[in-house]
Amino acid sequence: VLIPLDPELRCFLPERTNKLSVYHRSQIINATWRLARKKQNCLIKDTFSSKFGKNRRNEYQKFLRNGGSVKSLDEFSGDELAQIYQSLFRSRFGDTLPCYPSDNLIDFFSHLRHLLYGCVLYVENAPCAFDIV
């Protein structure tokens, strides 16, 4: 986990975790660091091979040819995004796992809108996937 902290800040983390990034070694006072950690950080690559890019483009085109469509998050209100998220969550997990309350999701999508980008994928005019970064 990477936390957006000022590089000069030293603080206590009020939560227990074994997934804290080693980049916070000098910042989190109450963290325990081991030399031989089994878990490693996952860093996102900023470049991909041409084969990887070609495969993703082909998958995208196939999705569109088979009746799929893609809409940007910018086309939806916070209320609509919360409703879509809850609908997809229920279709995935049913009643086995509770979803976040509507008010929390609406607040999340409304207050952090300027930080979010992504899309909603549709098949036969019904949302089938929610991609948010």
Element at 71 (helix H, strand E): strand 68-72
Per residue in 39-91, pLDDT (tens digit) is 555 555 667 789 988 998 999 999 999 999 999 999 999 999 999 999 999 99
As a whole number of angstroms, the distance between CA 85 and CA 107 comes to 13
Per residue in 79-102, pLDDT (tens digit) is 999 999 999 999 988 888 888 899
The string of DSSP codes covering 53-66 is: HHHHHHHHHHHHHT
Same domain, yes or no: 26 and 75: no
Structural domain that includes position 128: 67-132
Same domain, yes or no: 24 and 74: no
Q: Residue 70, SS3?
A: strand
Residue 50 domain-assigned? no
Question: Considering the entire predicted model, what is its pTM?
Answer: 0.62
Residue 72 domain-assigned? yes
The total of structural domains in the chain comes to 2
Residue 57 domain-assigned? no
Residue 48 domain-assigned? no
Q: Are 33 and 25 in contact (CB under 8 A)?
A: yes
Residue 61 domain-assigned? no
